[in-house]
Structure formats: C-alpha cells, structure tokens
Amino acid sequence: MFNWKDISMAGIIVMAIVFYTCKKSTLQASINSPENKVSNFIAEDNSTFSFVSENTYTEFHENSPVNWITFDEAYSKCKKNPRPIMVDVYTTWCGPCKMMSAQTFNNPLIAKYINDNFYAVKFDAESKDSVKFDKYVFVSTDASNPKAPHQFAASILDNQLAYPSIVFLNNQIQRLDILKGFMPPKQFEPVLTYYGSGDYQKTKWEDYQKTFLPTIK
C-alpha cells in the first residue's frame, strides 16, 4: 500500500486491492496525517446523503469555476512548479458530492482560492480510466463492474471509501489530511487556507481557527 505521508517522488510501493463499501463511513483521520489535522475536529455531515443522476452531476463538474485537472496532470505540474494538491474523490450517484460541487466549489471565493493555491483534482472513485503515478499505474478493481472502486481511490483514502472525500497533499505528494462528507463554503474556507497557506506546518488547527478572518459570510 502507498504510504501517502512517507512517499517521495522516487520512492513508491504498490498498494493492495481492497473491498468496496458504498456506504459513507464514520470520519476517520488518516494515520499518516499531522497530529493537528483538521479532520480530528470536524464531524462528518451524514444528514444529506442521497442519490442523483449522473447527468446532473456531470453538468456541475463541467461548469465548475474550479480548474479541475487529472491526477496525472497535477503530478506532472507539481514536479515542475510545486504547490499543494487537493483531490475531490466522488461518485456520480452521491448526493453530498453534488452538493459539494454545486454549493462549495461553485462559490467564487472558494474557486479562486483553489485555483490560485492548489492543483485541483476531481477523481471519480468508480472510474475505469487508469491513473499514472511515477512509474506505477492504478486501475479499476473490476473493469466489468460499473460500481467497482478504483485502486487509486482505495489507496489515497486508506481503504476508507466514503464520498465525497477531500484529500490534501503537500507539494511532495505527501498526504496531509482526509476530510469526509459535505462541507458548506463557510466551513470549508478556513480548511482551504490552512493547508493552502502552509500554516498547518507551524500552527495548530485550534489556534488557527481563533485568528482566522473569513471572507465568506
């Protein structure tokens, strides 16, 4: 399995294929994240779980003000011009995923901050496309099953497949945190700036929240 904290650009090992669950799991912090990670302090919102049509979700994806790229592209860009990576792991049938796209990622202030400070990746956890990472390739766990999870999603989420999951990686492709569930713009803004500014390296989340000045009312 990949260790998303300890890996470097050159040092990677292959992950094991895991079993899938479509039910949202309880918020669990990654063992590879910093002790002051945000996910220790934010409860997962389970109140909005629903199913939506794939066409509706695609519309939000394509019309998003966020400059979404593939992980392959983000990895390539990060090697040339390092910056953090934010990965939105979603499925096409997930209601909270749709809400995250429609409400949070469509917010102009949120979108601008993401575009200015991150490489933003939107990854379908049930995709049949391969993902190239360094010299390795991730594929679907079952190409014949439309709902089968992707190896990349299983790896980056530590096998805790819950949607949406927002994964923050630093510019060395080391995982900082995993946040599961829908987060409205006002709640998501301080998380973005915490990881986007690099303040997580010197300030505990509890202290950061006390001094954070929101731009979203």
Which position has the higher pLDDT, 177 or 30?
177
The torsion defined by the Cα of 128, 94, 123 and 131, in degrees rounded to 10, comes to: -20
Share of the chain above pLDDT 90, in %: 66
Domains and CATH numbers, the chain: 38-127+160-211 (3.40.30.10)
pLDDT for residue 37: 74
Q: What distances in angstroms separate CA 71 from CA 121, 163, 201, one per listed residue?
A: 6, 18, 24
Output the pTM of the full model. Answer: 0.78
DSSP 199: G
List beta partners, residue 168: 86, 177
- Residues 178-206 have pLDDT tens digits of 999 999 999 999 999 999 999 999 999 99
Amino acid at site 145: N
